[in-house]
Every structure is written in C-alpha cells, then in structure tokens.
Amino acid sequence: MYNPKSRKAEEFICHQEILDTLEYAQKNKNNIEIVDKILEKARLKKGLTHREATVLLDCDIPEKVEEIYALAREIKQDYYGNRIVLFAPLYLSNYCVNGCVYCPYHLKNKHIPRKKLSQEEIRQEVEALQDMGHKRLAIESGEDPVNNPIEYILDSIKTIYDVKHKNGSIRRVNVNIAATTVENYKKLHDAGIGTYILFQETYHKESYEKLHPTGPKHNYAYHTEAMDRAMEAGIDDVSLGVLFGLELYRYEFAGLLMHAEHLEAAFGVGPHAISVPRIKHADDIDPDAFDNGIDDDTFAKIVACIRIAAPYVGMIISTRESKECREKLLNLGVSQISGGSKTSVGGYFKPMPDSEDSSQFDVSDRRPLDEVIKWLMELGYLPSFCTSCYRQGRTGDRFMEICKSQQIHNFCQPNAIMTLKEYLEDYASDETKKLGNELISKEVELIENEKIKHVVKENLKKIEQGQRDFKF
Ligand code: SAM
C-alpha cells in the first residue's frame, strides 16, 4: 500500500507505514549499533529516510543526542553558513468558511472582528513593511470563496509587487492560502509568487477530520495532495509544515518526512522549506485544550532531526516562539525567521486598538525588526534580505542541484552581504548600522572567489551612493 511515488494521499502518507516506523524506532532507539550506523550515514550530509530519522528522534542515549545536535549544527553551517533570511507575514483577510478547531478564524467565531484589506489598505501595510526594511512577505488568508476569491489574492499580489516606497520594494511574495485547484495554482505561478506554503496541520487522517469538522478543509486527500497540484501547475518551490501540538509529534515527524520523500519521488524535487509552528493561544483558542503539546527540548530535537534528515531544506520559525526559543533553534537548523510580525489583518500601518484585534495567534517575540537584526548579528549570524534565487530562475530542481552541491554559498553569501548593506543604509538604527558595517567588512573578506569579492566590494560602494538591488 505504501508508495512514495503515488499521487494518492493515503498511499504516500501511509498510516500503516507510519505505525511501522514508530514501532521500529521505539524498538531500536537505544540500539547503539543501529543508531551509530544511521549517524554514520547522516555524516555524509545527504539526508536520511523517515525511518532512520525517527530512530534518531526517539534515541535518548545522552552522548548520541549530543552527537545529533552537533551534526545538525555542522550541516546547517555547511549548507547555510551563518546566514538567516528574514521575512514578515501579511494577513490579507480573516474571513473563513472552515471550522478548524485550533484557529480563531473558524466560521463559528462570531465575536472576532472580521476584516479584509482593500487594495489601498494593502498598499499602506506594504509601505509600512518596506519602511521596516522587509523585502520578502508571506501573505496569509482565510479560505472564503466569496470574500477571498483567487482574483482577490492575485490583485493583492500585484498591488504588493507594485508598491515602491522610498528605496523599498517587496521582491518576493510567498503565499499561504488554502489548498486549491491546478488552475488556480497556475494563476499564482503566473503572478510571480515565490513559495507556495501550506501546512498539513496533521498527517493523521482520523485526527485531521476531527480537527477540521466542517468546510472544504475537511477533505484530507484534497488538502494532502495540494502540493502535487501546485507542482503540476509549475510551482516548484513549496513549503510544508505541521502544527505541532495537534497530534503525537512522532507521528507528525514521520509524516512530514514522508511528504518530502513523496515530492522528491514524484516530481524530482523536495520541499523548498519546512515550517515548524506550535499551537498558540488565540482569541477563543486555548492551546492547553490540545493534549499533544511539546516542550522546548522535544521541539529542539525535532528541529535538529529535520535538519539532519533534509540537509538542504530551508527551515522556518515564526514569532510564535520566544526570543530564547528562537535562539536555541537557530543554532540547530533554522534558516529563516520572521521579524516585527503582526498576525492581525492590518496593524503594520496603524497599531490596532484591542477591540479591533483580529490576530490569528499571540506573538511571543514582539521585538521590532531592527532589534531582531541586531540580536542576530550579536549571536554571530548574517541577516539576509536576499530574494535572488527565484528571481534568477533558481527554483525547484535547479535550486536543489546547486544547494545539494553546496554551490549555493557562491550566490547566497554575497547576496546576504549586499542586502544587509541596503538594510543598514535605509532602515537601521545607528547602533545596528555600526555593528552591521563591521560584520560586512569581515564577511566580504571571507568570500573565496576573488572575482565575486571584487564585484561585491564595488557594489557595496554603489549601495552607499544610492543604487539598489544588486544580486548574483
Ligand atoms: N487558511 C489557510 C489554510 O487553511 O491553510 C492558511 C492560512 S492560516 C492563516 C496559516 C496557519 O496558521 C495555518 O495553517 C495553521 O497551521 C496556523 N494556525 C492556525 N491557528 C493557530 C494557532 N492557534 N496557533 C498557531 N498557529 C495557528
């Protein structure tokens, strides 16, 4: 029944295969010989199967757990260096016809203020986001064919790309909207989106159906096969995720990796990124009502094991998590974070009074973007506002090829340096600017290719003189 190449949800996310995997992992989690053999394979830095990775996830031999963490750090360094990419979510509309029991936008919530941004309001929000320094957005919307049809999403993407405020521009719009048709995915592709993001929420079919009792999202197969339709439509950068806390984390972990294996097997290209959200308090949602919450240590182990199992995949953590938690996870494999986020519809342009608050969930990390940038640099990271890959046609298998051969450094490091410089010139506080310029001086000298180093130095001077948007 289990068939990673199949296009049927229940065959590539096969319940029995997950149960067998969990049993195998429990049986072998402390079998040193097997754990060592898996770690030996992991050290090749080409990834692991869902079964191998689940053994590592379950393993609780302290020295081996330390090895897992050390390896995750090493792999992160090899594939991503010290770069951390920044983005912000932009909530367009919280009208929603679904009944997701963990989400305050569910249809039965009659007291949450419902709001849909007009194109003029989107323009204002985008100007505010550009004034913070953002270049990459993830647009978010509830599912509502009447209030938020695909035409509204397409108009919004166009509006976002068109806003050019001072030196600002949004150069990559990622899209997180409900599962849709091949035809609509084609329209999104033609609109020039970056990544299509869709969280599975849970891979456990029975739980999925209970957690999504009403609305189109109830259909497990339609939701689970969405990435196949997106790929069929030509979107080859897709981003997976589960909402940790809904189901047993071990089940989700195996399902997530099987989903990645499926995309690789069926389309020759795995997910561009994986998000690891945890359920949070929100309006009428109490996270304690869900039995499967995970503590910070388990969360860290999940992140480290994903990094080892899928070395080249971007890993994203949002402001759902606190500064302390994000600091720990950055060190274990996370490569992309949001900063200065608002999870309400509107709120970047004009802060919202509580009575109008339409937040999807509570934000734990509330620091402004400038503070996040400074903090990243103090921790030894290189903040990056790069959006180059997809604009240069490095998506899907082309991206993966360059990434797997670790050639991506030749593009990403210079692009990170140049986009950070833009940020420092246009938006940073004096303190951040000073720290950033010191970091850039060091980082430029580390570029190995002399020709690229020379071009970057020239471009940095041009950025100081007012030119923008250099990229490799
Ligand atoms: N409406 C789209 C869909 O159904 O996939 C996607 C947009 S939704 C705004 C983005 C994600 O927020 C959801 O996929 C879900 O995982 C997450 N989310 C919903 N409620 C949450 C909560 N209480 N805490 C944390 N994340 C939540």
Inter-residue contact 176 to 240 (CB < 8 Å) = no
Tokens of 375: 């903090």
Inter-residue contact 228 to 283 (CB < 8 Å) = no
- Alpha-carbon gap, residue 209 to 189, rounded angstroms: 29
Inter-residue contact 268 to 21 (CB < 8 Å) = no
Q: How many CA atoms lie within 13 A of 188 on its CB side?
A: 33
DSSP 137-192: EEEEE---TTTS-HHHHHHHHHHHHH---TT----EEEEE-----HHHHHHHHHTT
pLDDT score of 456:
97
| Pairing label, strands 336-338, 382-384 | unpaired
DSSP 269-329: ---SEEE--B---BTTB-GGGSTT---HHHHHHHHHHHHHHSTTSEEEE-TTS-HHHHHHH
pLDDT score of 322:
94
pLDDT per residue rounded down to tens, the chain (472 residues): 999 999 999 999 999 999 999 999 999 999 999 999 999 999 999 999 999 999 999 999 999 999 999 999 999 999 999 999 999 999 999 999 999 999 999 999 999 999 999 999 999 999 999 999 999 999 999 999 999 999 999 999 999 999 999 999 999 999 999 999 999 999 999 999 999 999 999 999 999 999 999 999 999 999 999 999 999 999 999 999 999 999 999 999 999 999 999 999 999 999 999 999 999 999 999 999 998 999 999 999 999 999 999 999 999 999 999 999 999 999 999 999 999 999 999 999 988 777 677 788 889 989 999 999 999 999 999 999 999 988 988 888 888 888 777 777 788 999 999 999 999 999 999 999 999 999 999 999 999 899 999 999 999 999 999 999 999 9
Tokens of 344: 């309400």
Backbone torsions φ then ψ of 174, nearest 5 degrees: -90, 155
Q: Which of 178, 140, 170 is nearest to 359 (CA)?
A: 140
Nearest protein CA to atom 5 of ligand 1, as residue? 178
C-alpha angle 53/309/248, rounded to 5°?
50
pLDDT score of 390:
83
Confirm whether pTM is higher than 0.85. yes
- Alpha-carbon gap, residue 418 to 425, rounded angstroms: 11
User: For 69-102, what is the HEC assignment?
Assistant: HHHHHHHHHHHHCCEEEEEEEEEEECCCCCCCCC
CA of 94 to the centre of ligand 1 (A): 11
Residue type, 131: D
Length of the chain counted residue by residue = 472
Owner of token pair 């992309």 = 336
pLDDT score of 357:
77
Is residue 345 helix, strand or coil?
strand
Backbone torsions φ then ψ of 189, nearest 5 degrees: -60, -45
* Among 103, 184, 219, 364, residue to substitute to test ligand 1 (most atoms within 8 Å of Cβ): 103
pLDDT score of 98:
98
Q: Which of 138, 127, 129, 45 is nearest to 336 (CA)?
A: 138
Tokens of 60: 């609780």
Question: Ligand 1 atom closest to Cα of 285?
Answer: 23
Q: How far is CA 245 from CA 109, 142, 220, 251, 292, in A?
A: 21, 21, 18, 11, 5
Q: Which residues pair with 89 in a beta bridge?
A: 138
Inter-residue contact 282 to 363 (CB < 8 Å) = no
Nearest protein CA to atom 26 of ligand 1, as residue? 279
pLDDT score of 168:
97
pLDDT score of 241:
98
Inter-residue contact 7 to 266 (CB < 8 Å) = yes
Q: Which of 207, 197, 192, 301 is nearest to 247 (CA)?
A: 207
Is residue 337 helix, strand or coil?
strand
- Alpha-carbon gap, residue 469 to 461, rounded angstroms: 13
pLDDT score of 201:
98
Ligand 1: lining residues by beta carbon, under 6 Å: 102-103, 140, 142-143, 176-178, 198-199, 201, 217, 243, 277, 279-280, 282, 285, 320, 360-361
